[in-house]
Structures are given as C-alpha cells and as structure tokens.
Structure 1
C-alpha cells in the first residue's frame, strides 16, 4: 500500500523546486533540504535520488508515526494521514485524527475521549477501531471528510497568518483536500 501512496505523492510533488515564498527552501520529490540532511543526504538537492526520497517517506512519514498499524484497520485513513503528515507533520496529522474521533464518539459512549497529543498510538487505534465497528464504511467516509475539513481550515489559516502562503493555497487545496 505505501509504495503506491509514495508514487502518487512524488508525482504530485514533482522534481526540484526552490520557490522563493517557501520557508522550507529547496525540495526534490517533496523532500525539504532540512529533512534530507537530517536523514544523512549530503549532496546537492537537485540530485537527491528518488530512492532516497522514497526511503525517507517510508521511514519518517509512514513507519515512525505508526500509520502502518492503522492501514490494516482503515487503509483510506492511513493514506490520508500519510499525505497530511508529509505536508504538515505527523503530529498535526495524528492530532487531526484524534480531534475528529473525539466528537464522533457520542459524548464518550462509544469509546473514551482521546488526549490530542498527535500520536497515533494504541488508544487512538482502539478508538478508530471502535468507531469503524459501529459506523462501518460510511463512517470511514465521514471521518475522511472531517480530516479534510481540518486540513483545509489549517491551509486557510496559514495563508491568513502569512500572506506569502497564498502562493500555495490553491495547490494545497486542489491536491491534498478531498
């Protein structure tokens, strides 16, 4: 599953980019220079090998936050979390999941409220499982809608707080929300 997600992500992100309004600086395959350096890549960003980008995506945005353990429960949710983590950070993505699950638990009748700590750990997975057991496939769709709503709101807020981000809002909304 993750291989397809990475291929789709790299297709959206494209090759080398160094947009003047992007605080992340130069990127290749969607990997920022800071992330590449933190994971041992020392060469020019224009030459970051795709295989290295794939390894970073798998390690940092799939395995480390535990989305590989969410995928067997809810593959579409895991894919959405992966994409959000790449663009906003795993803590934000995990927090979105927890924030969405809390009001969907019918005042804690279906499963306990979650602390919104951004970690997709055992309690979050248990809540997700309980929600899906009760709501089924239609519930997964509703949860995806909630995750996308939170993501879209954050993009708008980022542009409101930093007008230079307006250069990216259309693309963010078009490629990542819904």
Structure 2
C-alpha cells in the first residue's frame, strides 16, 4: 500500500472522531472544525470563520502538521495510522513519546523526537506489539488528564475504535 493510500485511509478514520464543528466549553483546544483548532488553522494561514473551514484544508493541515511531523511514512502501515491519530489528538511530541514507550525506550530516550534510535527500537518489535503497547500508553495518558470526567467516555471509545481498526488492518 502506498504512503498516500495509508494516509488517506488514516485521515478518513480520523474524521469519524474529528469531523464537524465543536466548541465545547471544557475543551482547552477551544473552537475546532474537523479537529483543527482555531490556533492551528490561523498558523496555517486560515482567516475565516471556523465553521467554514473545509475538509480539504483540514486534510492539508493533518498531513503537514501531524502525519509528516511524526514521520509516519517511516513506520509500518499498521503503526502509522495509530501514531497519526495520537498526534492529531495529543500533539506530535506526545504521540512520539507514546511510541517511544511502546518500543521499550525509557528515561532520556523518551524525547518526543523521531530519530534513528526511535525507528530502530520500533522496528525491533512486531507491529502488533507496538500498537498494543502504544494504545495502552495513550489510555494511561488519557486517564491522567484533568478533563477525564468530561471527556473520558469519548476518549475510551476512541481507543476502542483504534483497537478495532488495528484488528481490521491485520487481516
């Protein structure tokens, strides 16, 4: 499967969780459309009303600021969509830290930067093991966020959906 195909499939999966306009008072990200916060949209040159942000603009932001920023193309097609979803949800640095933990790195090795050490550690394990460890790290992170009471059920559902997606990808 080509890198573009893996990204396109991952983006469509992402939109099941991020599609549409949201402005929840307890969400520190504030106003979003397709999961793109106003701050991120403005940083990418958008100046319109957030309700009018196009899906194609969101896809461009997703590719540049989350897929490419976490070097998803350097990882197995089973791992890349998981890393991408986490980057979109938690930010690239946190997503990479989850990946580094999932690959068995620790201490100063967990720096939120993809380099040869991270790629090598990930590639030593089976993609299945990485994905399971990665999703465990994400769920653990979610439970420690102060807004767990408001958003925990949805975040848990998101992890379930990622597990289901990984199971489909294994077939």
Alignment TM-score, normalising by the size of structure 1: 0.81
Instruction: Answer with 1 or 2: which has the greater Rg.
Output: 1
Determine if contact 1:28/1:45 at 8 Å carries over to the other structure: yes
1:117 paired to 2:122: no
Counterparts of 1:95 and 1:103, CA distance in 2: 9
Which contiguous aligned blocks of 4+ residues in structure 1 show a shift greater than 3 angstroms? none
Shift of 1:102: 2.1
Could you say what the CA RMSD is over the residues aligned between the two structures, in angstroms? Answer: 1.8
Determine if contact 1:67/1:120 at 8 Å carries over to the other structure: no
Determine if contact 2:143/2:152 at 8 Å carries over to the other structure: yes
**Residues 23-55 of structure 1, C-alpha deviations (whole Å, 9 max, x = no match):** 111100111111111111110000001110000
Match of 1:147? 134
Determine if contact 1:98/1:114 at 8 Å carries over to the other structure: no
Structure 1: any 5+ residue segments left out of the alignment? 105-112, 133-138
Match of 1:10? 15
Counterparts of 2:150 and 2:95, CA distance in 1: 22
Structure 2: any 5+ residue segments left out of the alignment? 1-5, 164-171
Number of equivalences: 156
Alignment TM-score, normalising by the size of structure 2: 0.84
When residues 52 and 69 of structure 1 are mapped into structure 2, their CA distance, relative to the original with a 3 A threshold, is: same
Match of 1:97? 99
